[in-house]
Amino acid sequence: MAWIRVVDEAEAEGKLKEYYDEIVKTRGKVANIMKIHSLHPEAMMGHLNFYKTIMFSPSALSRRQRELLATVVSSFDKCAYCTRHHLEALRAYIKDEAFLAQVQRDYTQTSLDTKDRAMLDYARKLTLTPGAMTRQDVESLRKVGFGDEEILSINLITSYFNFVNRVATGLGVEFSEEEARGYRY
């Protein structure tokens, strides 16, 4: 149970009901991370639109890379909700359960390629020590072949998940196995 009042779909009226219906139409169901915004429906939709843009719109980063970032950043932040949800999404791209478990525990001990490892190294530093970031961190991404558009996407996704992890952990957003599954990716 979240630590603030949440308006469920059955109780929703007006704009909130419209937004919930729209989410169900596009995503299959309303995630608890969206419901936590129910007292501020416009913020919920702003959040959802930004999420869909950085995670699903055309990008030089693959969907697999985006879900790797989401899972690893959420794991660093110790956000069980987001880690579980994005590990589920990552399963659509990586079928090896042992590999997925290791990515969640410590991606540096996996067989990721040089680009993915550099991407996650950048995300780790931005997540754990944001004040220590330097131009060299961006140059490290360029050295392995990332262009500026990809670097921007890596930064935006990392920063977004740092934000949403704090929303989830700071307001007690919970999940069940049923809640974590069945979304349209």
Mind listing the pLDDT tens digit for each residue in 13-30? 999 999 999 999 988 899
Q: Residue 43 — φ and ψ, nearest 5°?
A: -65, -40
CA distance 20 to 41: 9
Q: What's the predicted TM-score (pTM) here?
A: 0.94
Query: Confidence class of residue 180 from pLDDT cuts 50, 70 and 90?
Result: confident
Mean pLDDT, range 149-165, rounded to an integer:
98
Q: Do residues 51 and 157 make contact, with C-beta atoms less than 8 angstroms apart?
A: no
Q: Do residues 5 and 176 make contact, with C-beta atoms less than 8 angstroms apart?
A: no
The mean of the pLDDT values for the chain is 95
pLDDT of residue 179: 75
Residue 132 CB neighbour total at 10 angstroms: 9
pLDDT at 94 over 70: yes
Mean pLDDT, range 57-82, rounded to an integer:
97
Q: Which amino acid appears at position 171 of this protein? A: L
Query: Confidence class of residue 185 from pLDDT cuts 50, 70 and 90?
Result: low
CA distance 99 to 102: 5
User: The domain 63-170: what is its CATH number?
Assistant: 1.20.1290.10
pLDDT at 169 over 90: yes
pLDDT at 182 over 90: no
Helix (H) or strand (E) segment spanning residue 146: none
Mean pLDDT, range 158-170, rounded to an integer:
98
Q: List C-alpha distances in Å: 104 to 28, 90, 126.
A: 26, 11, 17
Burial class (CB in 10 A: 0-12, 13-18, 19+), 117: middle
